[in-house]
Structure 1
Amino acid sequence: MTPDRADVAASQDIRQARWQPAEVASPHLDHPVPVVAAKDVAYLPHANRLQNLSIYLPRTPRTAALIGTPVTSLPGADAAVRHPRYLVHLHGGAWRDPRLTSASIEPAVAHAFRADALTGEAAPPVTAIASLNYTVSQIDYPVPPVMKDPPVPYDAIKDNHTDPAREAVHPQHVSDVLHGLALLGSLGLADGSYVLSGHSCGACLALQSVLQPPRHHGLGHLPEPPRPAALLGLNGLYDLPALATAEGLGTSHAHLRDDYEAFLSRAFGADKGAWADASPAGFDPVSIAARVREGTAPPLVVLDHSAEDQLVPENQHERMTATLAEAAGLRLARGHRLTGPHAAPWEEGVMIYQSLLDTLRLLREAP
């Protein structure tokens, strides 16, 4: 697969990025965890402020020696290992919140790379964790009341200024993710070398990016991303049309219908007929099965959903599960780590970390 010119230029630009010392924290840990990181690395030339990614490494004598040096590869990229060595994460935020960024993975990074994990007999579960930002969509005036601490609304016409980082309409979100994965590919991300995780709309983006080829989203000029060994979806949004109907939301979440319709219209356009084609729950199981056989889609998908999620109904999980269950050859597993409100997985970190461990265990147990 040959990257397009933008990917080549971005892979050249990353040489300007350098490894730096950093700290990450989790509310479940008493102290910050030292790491080595390369933050906000642009994956496109002339990128807007959200077209970037961050990479985190455990702080060890070997990685500490990288501090101040250019980012030229992911640790262990040349090693021959059977199981994934990286985690790549896509954050949520309803496609519209510019404040929810790649840094939201840091509580999970803290658990994965905490000191006791490094000083014990067991090595960290992965050797690097990457987290991608992507261009977000506009947010309507007035700000929906469901958002307790809303970002500043943005509408280019009403505000009389433009902000390219907040004007995405599908398929730009997917395009950004594919460009980010391509840049990681230039650093050594390869087929089977990583677990791809996503929370909320990030779970939707993860499935969109690997269960169908780029041409499905009108992005045929982009190459296939490296194939994940597994995909981990957490409190995901999968059936978009269902989220804009009271029936699809169910009695527990029907009060959110207007907000869903508003931000889905911003993210995917006013034509609701196009929403189904973009919905992972509506993907053809036969085509997914063919991609698994061809080695372009992950052979394992793990989906988890908190029964206490106040923003996304559990039937989204059920609809996605029903689709994937019909894809012959795909191994499907139900996660059992998520509890609490919608944002708890990324806010606390420990649930994403535990879900990663479970996914790696499932991969090791595979025949």
Structure 2
Amino acid sequence: MDSHEDNADWGAWASVPWNPVTDSPTSTAETLGWHKSGVPYVPRGQAVALQTLDVWIPAAGITTNPLEPSYLPSLPGTWIVYIHGGAWRDPFITSASFTSAATNLLRRVTTTATTTQSTQSKPSAARIAGLISLNYRLSPHPSHPCPAPDLPSRQARHPDHIADVLTALAFLNRLGILPSDSDSPWILAGHSCGATLAFQSVMAPARWGLAQVSNPTKPRAIVGFNGLYDLAGFIAEPPAAHAHLREGYREFVSGAFGADDEGVWRAVCPATAGEGWVGEWIGGSGGGARGRRRPEAVLVQSWEDSLVPYEQLEAMRGRLEGEGKGVVDVRVVEAGGDHNDIWSEGIRMGEILWEVVEALSVA
């Protein structure tokens, strides 16, 4: 990455300071890692408030303290990129919703490094280079207590959401944070509609009328937490236990993708999108090549989820095991708790992501 001051990407990166992440607010607390909040991934003058991302990196292996804002992480390991949920419209759920899980993962890295040094034991296979959480423009939320009808960042309509995700990933590619080829696998994760966006992002941008948008390097693994995969199916025939949510679903789906356009609703959802998208993913992930692990889809869902029924996972698993048979590994994991518990508490999310990193590291 060219780090000259006239490089717009580098300038955006260096405009945000690194702040220490600790387990407690005391000045003597151990530094688990470093955090940048609100890095713009769209050129200044064009960006709106939500076109930003957060970055966390482990302190292990970094000898400089404090870090200069221009510091670009280059230690080996796996990067995890996370996309938050919120039905494409909730302004209270942002990139910061990954904080609990990120802190949990930084703590795991620190504990593993300390144990390895003190006992001279074999190091864990899991090596995390860094963590990223994306913001993206939101759709209007007329019933929200803070509707903000005039904010450009809250007037998005498909394909604006996925365009922002692809733009952010391309920004990370250009910086050299995410690999520009498939030799260094990375993980893409998302919660609820963030899981929808994660799978949308590995499809050809032309599907969304975004042929001009850079097609970033594909992740080796996608982890969907309590994901939305078949919106038209839910609205047409919701499971009995969730039938009372039908009109709420119709409202936010119409706000994000257009009112009562079932054809669009099916086209944008990974369980019902047009054929061929699995091939669009594996063609750029590097998986399936000789000696390399196949791409993996990890579908995480809670039986206790009061907002998203388990049938959403079943629809997605069926699609992946059909179109992706023999080329994509599909794994189902129990989340536990209600819909947002997995990110608000962060422990289970961190545990699952750590396991996925370990699996990639030994592949």
2:169 counterpart residue number:
181
**Structure 1: which amino acid aligns with 2:246?**
R
**Structure 1: which amino acid aligns with 2:163?**
S
**Structure 2: which amino acid aligns with 1:226?**
T
1:232 counterpart residue number:
223
1:68 CA drift (Å): 2.6
Post-superposition Cα deviations, 1:82-131, rounded to whole Å, max 9, x if no partner, equal xx511110011110011211111111111111143442214664121011
SS at match of 1:255: helix
**Structure 2: which amino acid aligns with 1:264?**
V
TM-score normalized with structure 2 length: 0.83
1:344 counterpart residue number:
341
1:85 counterpart residue number:
78
- Unaligned runs of 5+ residues in structure 1 are 1-7, 144-150, 157-161
SS at match of 2:20: strand
Q: Does 1:299 align with 2:295?
A: yes
- Unaligned runs of 5+ residues in structure 2 are 1-5, 117-122, 288-293
**1:35-74 paired onto structure 2 within 5 Å:** 35-45=33-43, 46-60=46-60, 62=62, 64-65=64-65, 67-71=67-71, 73-74=72-73
TM-score normalized with structure 1 length: 0.83
1:138 counterpart residue number:
140
Q: Percent identity?
A: 35
Q: Does 1:311 align with 2:307?
A: yes
Distance (whole Å) between structure 2 residues aligned to residue 207 and residue 24 of structure 1: 33
Post-superposition Cα deviations, 1:116-162, rounded to whole Å, max 9, x if no partner, equal 34422146641210110000110123x5xxxxxxx5234x3xxxxx1
1:146 counterpart residue number:
none
1:256 CA drift (Å): 0.3
SS at match of 2:11: helix
Distance (whole Å) between structure 2 residues aligned to residue 24 and residue 307 of structure 1: 33
**1:1-367 paired onto structure 2 within 5 Å:** 10-23=8-21, 34-45=32-43, 46-60=46-60, 62=62, 64-65=64-65, 67-71=67-71, 73-76=72-75, 85-114=78-107, 115-121=110-116, 122=123, 125-141=127-143, 143=144, 151-154=145-148, 156=149, 162-188=150-176, 189-190=178-179, 191=182, 192-210=184-202, 212-245=203-236, 247=237, 249-270=238-259, 271-289=261-279, 291-293=281-283, 295=285, 299-326=295-322, 327-364=324-361, 366=363
Distance (whole Å) between structure 2 residues aligned to residue 239 and residue 261 of structure 1: 12
Distance (whole Å) between structure 1 residues aligned to residue 88 and residue 328 of structure 2: 28
1:338 CA drift (Å): 0.6
Change in Cα spacing, 1:10 to 1:177, as seen in structure 2 (3 Å) is farther
Change in Cα spacing, 1:209 to 1:9, as seen in structure 2 (3 Å) is farther
1:18 CA drift (Å): 4.2
1:244 CA drift (Å): 1.8
Distance (whole Å) between structure 2 residues aligned to residue 207 and residue 199 of structure 1: 11
SS at match of 2:271: helix
Change in Cα spacing, 1:226 to 1:281, as seen in structure 2 (3 Å) is same
Distance (whole Å) between structure 1 residues aligned to residue 263 and residue 127 of structure 2: 42
Distance (whole Å) between structure 2 residues aligned to residue 187 and residue 40 of structure 1: 16
SS at match of 2:132: strand
1:4 counterpart residue number:
none
Distance (whole Å) between structure 1 residues aligned to residue 319 and residue 23 of structure 2: 37
Contact 2:218–2:281 (8 Å) recurs in 1: no
